[in-house]
Amino acid sequence: MELVSQNKCFGGTQSVFRHASELCGVEMTFGLYMPPQTRTRRVPLLWYLSGLTCTHENAMIKAGLQRYAAEHGLALLFPDTSPRGEGVADDQAYDLGQGAGFYVNATQQPWARHYRMYDYIVAELPNLLLGKLPLNGVNGITGHSMGGHGALTIAFRNPGLFRSVSAFAPIVNPTRSDWGRKQFSAYLGDDEANWGNYDACLLLSELGWRGDILIDQGAADQFLDQLQPEAMARLMAERRQAGVLRMQAGYDHSYYFVASFGEDHVRWHAERLNAA
């Protein structure tokens, strides 16, 4: 881990690191906020997965989560959304390629060489941080849009790694959305039988979730047809899944929406992670 930058923030430190990723085959960058409580004890870690076109930096700068993380004694991790750099496959469209990894392990060329974002989040990053930082091994995960899709699918498949999960405007049913079908065809191939491991609705139906779920969705979101929150709401009701999906009147898809409800999410995770 090479330290790129470090700034004092709400009594803690906001750092940016880069490292050589064995899985992705390139240097990867992530942001890490350590709250002031780490001076005396180990703390839980809340992962934040960002959406399309974002880097590690967007939420780190715009979401305003550090203030609430400092109040509740949580560390924050902001991974990048894809591998990047010369030689990494890309596309002219904003929703495919660099900045649009969709948190999957690509199996199709030219993507398979570098696009291993699922394993990067689930295996490589946890192993990189293990033992190097004052973290207590208790993890929660959240994210926005494509990152909300990533947070839900990764948590549902890895309940031993993540104790709590929430999302802001997630893509909940990507196998039935243009934000999903296009990318899954490219990254995973045309056989839709291989897509189910990356669809939150399909995974919740198959695997369930032992805890409760918090989802916030802006009712004025310009991408509602892609996000399909009603599919998750119906499924949670049918399964009697503990949790809540809140439609927030007047809010769109922007970081103004994330920042408006960020305090709720950090506090919600803190209640579950600090009680572990």
d(CA 37, CA 43): 7
Is the distance from CB of 118 to CB of 154 less than 8 angstroms? Answer: yes
Look up the domain containing 219 and give its range.
2-274
DSSP state of 189: -
In a 3-state reduction of DSSP, which class is residue 60?
Answer: helix
pTM: 0.97
DSSP string, 112-126: TTT-BHHHIIIIIHH
Handedness of CA 223, 118, 197, 188 (dihedral sign): positive
Encode burial over 193-206: b for 16+ CB neighbours within 10 A, e otherwise: eebeebbbbbbbee
* CA nearest to 157, candidates 206, 89, 225, 219: 206
Is the distance from CB of 143 to CB of 48 less than 8 angstroms? Answer: yes
Please count the residues of the chain.
276
d(CA 114, CA 124): 14
CA angle 183, 127, 160 (to 5 degrees): 75
Supply the pLDDT for residue 275. 82
Q: Lay out the sheet containing 75-79: strands in order across.
A: 2-9, 12-20, 27-34, 75-79, 43-49, 135-143, 164-168, 213-218, 243-248
Supply the pLDDT for residue 276. 67
d(CA 260, CA 272): 21
- The residues carrying an active-site annotation are 145, 221, 253
Give pLDDT tens digits along the chain (276 positions): 999 999 999 999 999 999 999 999 999 999 999 999 999 999 999 999 999 999 999 999 999 999 999 999 999 999 999 999 999 999 999 999 999 999 999 999 999 999 999 999 999 999 999 888 999 999 999 999 999 999 999 999 999 999 999 999 999 999 999 999 999 999 999 999 999 999 999 999 999 999 999 999 999 999 999 999 999 999 999 999 999 999 999 999 999 999 999 999 999 999 999 986
* CA nearest to 185, candidates 102, 276, 67, 88: 102
Beta-bridged to residue 105, according to DSSP, are 116
Tokens of 264: 């709720």
Supply the pLDDT for residue 84. 97
The CA-based diameter of the chain, rounded to the nearest angstrom, is: 52
- What's the total number of domains in the chain? 1
**What CATH number is attached to the domain comprising 67?**
3.40.50.1820
